A and B are shown apart, each in its own frame.
Chain A
């Protein structure tokens, strides 16, 4: 393999970004998914549509608006500045915020599907066994939605690794700060370093294949046992 130090740096940065984003997305996405799965409110449609927007928007459009929002005069920028954090564009945490929004549907939708599949009955049963709402969530919803959490984690992680457009708009191309693998490949190609581009690209292809394979295997195993089927 012909991986330069810069390549290794890009790989580490990508892994760090994807891990951070996945963990934060599980924390943020779980209540959103639970709300979407349970609510009867008219807000359900609009909120679900907003969550799903990144699926259809060009990354440049999303990146453009995020850039403005996070800039010195945007509402996110004003918030971060008032907290003494400066502005987010062209920083690692800027990428984290952008990636969370960009990968949100890949985490929220599998969670929501898994939670909806549980149905009302197990929760009613738990209530008649003296389990309060929080107890019910941790003792029933989380374990029964486990396949959804596995799918959501894998998709959220993989999708963040595969980002390019939003990163370029928000993060630019700063070594060890915002230059992730996809940007590094782009750089190699730009400067006609096809050999290095090959190494990194092949690595990403293999990674993506393994991830998707793991996903399909985990889904097959789970559908054979118990996705929310009360026996």
Chain B
């Protein structure tokens, strides 16, 4: 990425603890479009990074440029209330003494004051109505936070952060405090957020599922340092990362539904190159889908066998072979046009197949998960 792109967020922060050991030391350029996930284990420094960007934490050495605008450098530190951000905290953070409606009004009032606009200007009320609709909170506005469920509270909190009309939305594990069912309830709203509002989002998470489903870009933190960053599908296909993250290897692919088979209840998904059949899960033809294929569900063959139960076979090229954490296993990175697949197999098999970088072989995909 160019060093002085006006459409990115340049961050450089160093935080040290009492013993002068750095627990956050990052230097990066984050694209100011779409959703960028800041991913890492707890204690990896991801929340600290977000708090530094919000100005809630003051880094000893820090530099922050958002779309060419300086928010922090050696001589300048913009206070939090002067930064055009929205912030969604991990636990719902509604003001307990105000109803949901008044919590929203708290933001609206101040957004209008900053922008010097009239409260009844068409633009403001249009945004208000759209936020209420996208978050689906029309029926619960007159309740106090104590009368709302965790999921409802978090939706109000997200709506409130949108109504301040931020130029950058920061979300600190907004789903972490919710149970599985509530998470599933909110995820669609987060996806709609992505498509309905053109606001860049930094999304802190330790959940690979959420990241796979929501993010366009990813920044991986480990012990306060960035160990990988870039486009989501690219980063996911790196076979050196999972060992450090103790995560299951797998890739994310962007595809499109191109055909449905009514007889066998299947649908065909096409990628830039190659295609697969999946059980029909109700998506419409032409709909874009995001698919996750785990390395353990991919096996390799030298020839295209059709005398077997696995339907999905794609011609690929070997790009990289690497030992897995488990000494008996290897990870193989494969190119499929512009996309990647990762396969996990025993080292014995790699030896048996005499796999070499550059070889053309067949990947057999046993199972696939649609994440969106």
Of A64-72, A83-91, A118-126, A199-207, the segment with at least 4 beta carbons within 8 Å of chain B is A118-126
Partner of A124, one of B56, B91, B94, B111: B56
- Whether B161 lies near A139 (C-beta < 8 A) is no
Q: Are B87 and A128 in contact (CB under 8 A)?
A: yes
Q: B4 at the A/B interface (Cβ < 8 Å)? A: no
Q: How far is the CB of B171 from chain A (nearest CB, A)?
A: 11
Closest to B84 in A: A130
Contact between B95 and A140, CB atoms less than 8 A apart: yes
Assess whether B125 is interfacial by the CB under 8 Å rule.
Answer: no
Contact residues of B: prevailing secondary structure: mixed
Closest residue to B56 on the A side, CB-wise?
Answer: A124
The reply to whether B145 and A131 contact each other, CB–CB distance below 8 Å, is no
A121 to chain B, nearest CB (A): 6
Q: Which residues of A sit under 8 angstroms from B148, Cβ to Cβ?
A: 231
In A99-149, the 8 Å CB interface with B consists of 121-122, 124-132, 135, 139-140, 143-144, 146
A121-B89, A125-B87 are known contacts. Are A130 and B95 too (CB-CB below 8 A)?
Answer: no
Partner of B96, one of A124, A130, A226: A226
A124 contacts which chain B residues (CB < 8 A)? Answer: 56, 80, 87, 89
Chain A residues with CB under 8 Å of B91's CB are: 230
Q: In the complex, which of the residues B79, B81, B96, B114 contacts A231, with contact meaning CB atoms closer than 8 Å?
A: B96
Residue of A nearest to B148 (CB): A231
**Contact residue among B56, B111, B145 (Cβ-Cβ distance under 8 Å from A127):** B56
Contact across chains for A129 and B106 when beta carbons are under 8 A apart: yes
B106 engages A127 (CB within 8 Å): no
**Complex Cα spacing A124 to B87, Å:** 10
Establish whether residues B146 and A226, one from each chain, have CB atoms under 8 Å apart when the complex forms: yes
In the complex, whether A61 has a CB less than 8 A from a CB of chain B is no
- CB nearest neighbor in B for A130: B110
Candidate in A131, A143, A231 with the most chain B CB atoms within 10 angstroms: A231
Min distance, Cβ A111 to any Cβ of chain B, angstroms: 17
Task: Return the chain A residue nearest B80 by Cβ.
Answer: A127
B196 within 8 A of A: no
Q: Which of B55, B79, B96, B164 contacts A129 (CB 8 A)?
A: B164
Within 8 A of B (CB), among A178-231: 225-226, 228-231
Would you call B111 and A130 a contact (CB within 8 A)? yes
What sequence of 0s and 1s flags, for each residue 308-337 of chain B, a beta carbon within 8 Å of any chain A beta carbon? 000000000000000000000000000000
Per a CB cutoff under 8 Å, which of A132, A144, A229, A230 touches B81? A132
> Are the CB atoms of B94 and A230 closer together than 8 Å?
yes
B107 CB–A CB distance under 8 Å: yes
- Contact between B93 and A121 (Cβ–Cβ < 8 Å)? yes
A129 touches B110 (CB 8 A): yes
Evaluate contact between A231 and B110: CB separation under 8 angstroms.
no
Whether B106 pairs with A230 at a CB distance below 8 angstroms is no
B153 contacts partner chain A, Cβ-Cβ < 8 Å: yes
* Of B55, B79, B96, B107, the contact of A230 (CB 8 Å cutoff): B96
Q: Mark B161-177, 1 if CB is under 8 A from A, else 0.
A: 10010000000000000
B97, B113, B164: the one within 8 Å of A143 (CB) = B97
Q: How far is the CB of A64 from chain B (nearest CB, A)?
A: 45
Bound CA span A229–B145, Å: 11
Task: Report the Cα distance A125→B55, complex, angstroms.
Answer: 12
A131 touches B110 (CB 8 A): yes
Do B94 and A131 touch (CB < 8 A)? no
User: In the complex, A225→B96 CA distance in Å?
Assistant: 9
**Cβ-defined contact, B93 with A122, below 8 A:** yes
The reply to whether B114 and A130 form a contact with Cβ atoms under 8 Å apart is yes
Interface residues of A in 145-172 (CB under 8 A from B): 146
- Nearest CB in chain B: distance from A119 CB, A: 11
Give 1 or 0 for each of B126-163: 1 = CB within 8 Å of chain A CB. Answer: 00000000000000000011101000010000001100
Query: 19 additional contacts, CB 8 Å, given A125-B89, A127-B56, A129-B110?
Result: A125-B93, A126-B106, A127-B80, A128-B161, A128-B164, A129-B81, A130-B81, A130-B110, A130-B113, A130-B114, A130-B164, A132-B81, A139-B106, A144-B96, A225-B146, A229-B96, A230-B92, A230-B94, A231-B146
Instruction: Show the binding face of B for A, using Cβ within 8 Å.
Output: 54-56, 79-81, 85-87, 89, 91-97, 106-107, 110-111, 113-114, 144-146, 148, 153, 160-161, 164
A-B contact pairs, 16 of them (CB 8 A): A121-B93, A124-B80, A125-B89, A125-B93, A126-B95, A127-B55, A127-B80, A128-B81, A128-B85, A128-B87, A130-B113, A130-B114, A131-B110, A226-B97, A229-B96, A231-B94
